[in-house]
Amino acid sequence: MSKDQEQIGWSMPELASRVALDLEDGWFVNLGIGLPTLVADYIPEGKEIILHSENGLLGLGPKPESGEEDWNLVNAGKEPITLKPGGSFFSQSESFAMIRGGHLDAAILGAFQVSQFGDLASWKLPNATLGRVGGAMDLTAGSKRVFLFMQHTSKQGPKIVEECTYPLTTPRCVDRIYTNLAIIDVTETGLVVLELAPNVSFEYVQEHTAAPLKLHVGLQKETIGVQQ
């Protein structure tokens, strides 16, 4: 992705706020390593979302202010966090029992690639000798919903493709994709654009996507701003 492309559409904090709006009151939600952790800072006031980390935490709050970090309190990515009143600690085995038992309403993860069918590749690049699966395979198999939070493209090109060429994490597991350009649902009939970032056109999103897209019936092309 070029420097110019990085400035198009939503910023990552803006996208995190948009993702948080779609989380329903009372949901238990896992935030994956990296960009998804931003969502913790944008949970709307008055909405109770119980955030989970697979290293054995429930009830995560926003990131601590600089200088107030407690390095005994970290998420699965070893980043400092806060814990809300009523939050709890438990063993990693109990944490994965929650995941595998289907107790999470949603998992928000990053991705290297995602296919038009919802196949997810998130743990290893083709030429890398090592990869980190972490809890992604368990989360994508055990969570009721899987949302992706990511940039629309990478230095290698489009991240949304017809068929993944990277090693798969889990097949046909993704429900919704949030990128800096658009929000896209994975449906049985293909990828459907639900919402476009400000001043981004459907045509621009399609140009930067290596899989066919459909425009949701609620969106009208003529009313959408065009990214030059």
Q: Point out the residues that are catalytic.
A: 54
Supply angle C-alpha 27, 30, 32, rounded to 5: 150
Taking residue 79's Cβ as centre, other Cβ atoms within 10 Å add up to: 15
Pairing assessment for the beta strands 57-60 and 83-89 based on DSSP bridges: antiparallel
Q: DSSP for 2-17?
A: -HHHHTSS--HHHHHH
* Dmax (CA) of the chain: 53
> Would you state the structure tokens that stand for residue 82, as one six-digit string?
């806060």
- Which amino acid does the sequence have at 177? I
Handedness of CA 228, 12, 119, 164 (dihedral sign): positive
Q: How far apart are CA 23 and CA 206, in angstroms?
A: 26
Give the CA dihedral 108, 109, 110, 116, nearest 10 degrees.
-90
Helix/strand/coil (H/E/C) assignment for every residue in 175-187: CEEECCCEEEEEE
> Would you state the structure tokens that stand for residue 147, as one six-digit string?
């949302």
Q: How far apart are CA 169 and CA 133, in angstroms?
A: 8
Q: How far apart are CA 71 and CA 81, in angstroms?
A: 9
